[in-house]
Amino acid sequence: MLVADIGNTDIVIGIFENDTLTHSFRIPSKRDESKVFFQMKLVDYLLENNLSPEKLGVKVLSSVVPELSPIIRDIFYEINKEDLFEVKPNLLPALKVDIENPEELGSDLYTNAAAAYFKSNSACIIVDFGTALTFTAVNSSGEIMGVSICPGLKTAINSLFSKTAQLPIVPLEIPKSAIGRNTIQSIQSGVLLGYEGLVKGLIENFKSEMNEDSVRVYATGGLSSILPGLKDVFDEIDIDLTLKGLHIIGSTLSTQ
């Protein structure tokens, strides 16, 4: 199975053999590039890894970047004649979206919810450390209850750098103390240590409002392991959770 998660920063592509993720790679989500750019990136990767496009099976696509959706969709259609599924809210009967405007839910959040809920078969919270930092609540009945969204770690730091004249861009490294002794340490403290408190607080608020006997908490996204103070908050950290959710969705739909 060939899956793709089109995000604001990168397009993450995964290849599954049976239920195992055997390959994954990233292509920058460059909105000004042509179809050829993305096509060549995919073809080159397949060739380098001795993967035949014709032997790939079902394709599954999730996108939060409307400009890139038709480009990747066309490339996937041209790979082979197997089915292509695009993720949207309420795609799976067992995973309902119980919010005011279900069509507004990002396909990546629905995919994350599918991965966590079908893996745990219980109430869960998914924290995705991406361009945005998102929290998704799923109850024990398989209903997505709602979401919380705030700027991601890099987004927050880049915003400080781009919107202020005297603040530098800084590395994502945990400072030695909360009280910064220089500008870089001060920003690291405010963003990184501050986000630890933000994540802990929102998870506790979610659990209280969900009113479930047990809630499993999953973390995903490229920066999901960067805050050591959150290690005990998560039941599982899986940077490939979104890709695995796409695989679950594709496997479910292809057998219906």
Active site residues: 108
CB-based contact 248:3 (threshold 8 Å): no
- Main-chain phi, psi angles of 143, to 5 degrees: -110, 125
Reduced to 3 states, what is the DSSP secondary structure of residue 238?
coil
Q: For residues 225 and 105, what is the distance between their CA atoms, to the nearest angstrom? A: 25
Tell me how far apart the alpha carbons of residues 2 and 247 are, in angstroms, rounded to a whole number: 8
SS3 per residue for 108-143:
HHHHHHHHHHHHHCCCEEEEEECCEEEEEEECCCCE
Residue 190 token pair: 């405010």
Question: Which amino acid would we find at residue 253?
Answer: L
Give the span between the Cα atoms of 87 and 252, in whole angstroms. 12
24-49 CB burial, b ≥16 within 10 A, e <16: bbebebeeeeeeeebbebbeebbeee
Strands 2-6 and 10-17 turn out to be antiparallel
Specify whether the CB–CB gap between 87 and 48 falls below 8 A: no
